[in-house]
Structure formats: C-alpha cells, structure tokens
Amino acid sequence: MIDPNVQVSLITAGGAVAVAGLGLLVEYMRRQVNAMSEVRENVQVARDHVANTHTTNLRDDLDSVAAQLNRVLELQELHGRELGALREDMAHERRERLAVASRLDDHMAATT
C-alpha cells in the first residue's frame, strides 16, 4: 500500500496537471473562437462582394458583354478592310495623277 502522504502528493500533483491542462484547453478554445470570428467576418465581406444585387444573372451579363465585344471586333476588322481599300484607291489615284503630270510635263517640254 502507498503511504498516505504520497497519495496526497499524487492527488495534488494530478489536480495541478488537470487545472493546467484545463487552462490550456480554455486558451486554445478562446483562440479558436477569435479565429472563427475573423473567418466569419471575411466570409461576410466576400459574400457582400459577390452577392447578386441586380435583376440579371452575372453569367448572362458576361455572355452579353462577350457578344458585344465580338461585334466590336467584327466591325473593327471590317473597318480595317475598308481602310485598306481606301489606301489602295488613294495609291491608284496618286499614280494616275503622277502619270498625268508626267505627260503634261512632257507635252509642255515638247511644245516650247
């Protein structure tokens, strides 16, 4: 049998370890509650940013914007082709003008 003084010491030591363990558990739980509160706040901020506060669906809005952008790109390609054709016309007109000017210079030189 264990001496009663040893029994009291063991019970006291066990009680001190239990109280210390309980203190650690309480501190751990407090930190977890603080972390969960921060996560809850961050989730609420994220929810506020992505919440649909208008009448149309975001996906439908994006599809509409993409279609409009495609139309802009199509028109830009058309304008590019038209500008190319205008440049060709201007180059042709310039060549004709220079040819007429050359013939006029030749005619003027021949008649003087």
Residue 3 maps to a domain = yes
Residue 70 maps to a domain = yes
Residue 35 maps to a domain = yes
**pLDDT per residue over 5-43, tens digit each?**
889 999 999 999 999 999 999 999 999 999 999 999 989
The answer to whether the pTM exceeds 0.75 is no
Residue 60 maps to a domain = no
Kindly state whether residues 43 and 70 are assigned to the same domain: no
Domain that holds residue 6: 1-51
Distance CA 29, CA 23 (A): 10
Residue 28 maps to a domain = yes
Q: What is the mean pLDDT of residues 75-97?
A: 96
**pLDDT per residue over 56-73, tens digit each?**
787 888 999 999 999 999
Residue 99 maps to a domain = yes
Number of domains observed in the structure of the chain: 2
Q: What is the per-residue pLDDT for 59?
A: 86
CB 23 within 8 A of CB 17: no
